Amino acid sequence: EAGVTQFPSHSVIEKGQTVTLRCDPISGHDNLYWYRRVMGKEIKFLLHFVKESKQDESGMPNNRFLAERTGGTYSTLKVQPAELEDSGVYFCASSQGQGPYEQYFGPGTRLTVT
């Protein structure tokens, strides 16, 4: 069974540019989550999809971040325009149901904004 995959693994962009991160969850997982870890701090929740619907986006830092999940499959997280403080590692995770199920995490995308 393929795990959660994320693309790209690393991205270096200049302040003001746009970046789109992609996450492919495990097949059949309706729940998809985005998290971010900034500068060695704790991993923080960004948002949660159930299929194509946003269940909770309370962790999104501001309106420069836009997440989509077309057709309930893969998800994208766009940052436009990027700021220096957006640098960090963005993790995606997926799970089967909404209960105390473990979430399966991808390897993350390391974003550096210069």
73-99 CB burial, b ≥16 within 10 A, e <16: ebbebebeebeeebbbbbbbbbbeeee
Task: Please give the single-letter amino acid code of residue 53.
Answer: S
Residue 81 C-beta: closest distance to another protein, Å: 28
Binding flag, residue 13, another protein (CB under 8 A): no
Residue 75 C-beta: closest distance to another protein, Å: 15
Q: Which is nearer to another protein, 16 or 97 (CB)?
A: 97
Binding flag, residue 91, another protein (CB under 8 A): yes
Binding flag, residue 7, another protein (CB under 8 A): no
Binding flag, residue 103, another protein (CB under 8 A): yes
Alpha-carbon Rg of the chain, whole angstroms?
13
Which residues are within 8 A (CB) of 35 and not within 5 positions of it... i.e. 6 or more apart?
A: 43, 44, 45, 46, 90, 91, 92, 93
**The one among 16, 18, 56, 84 contacting another protein by CB under 8 A:** 56
- Contacts with another protein, residue ranges (CB under 8 A): 3-4, 9, 33, 35, 40-45, 48, 55-56, 91, 93, 95, 98-108
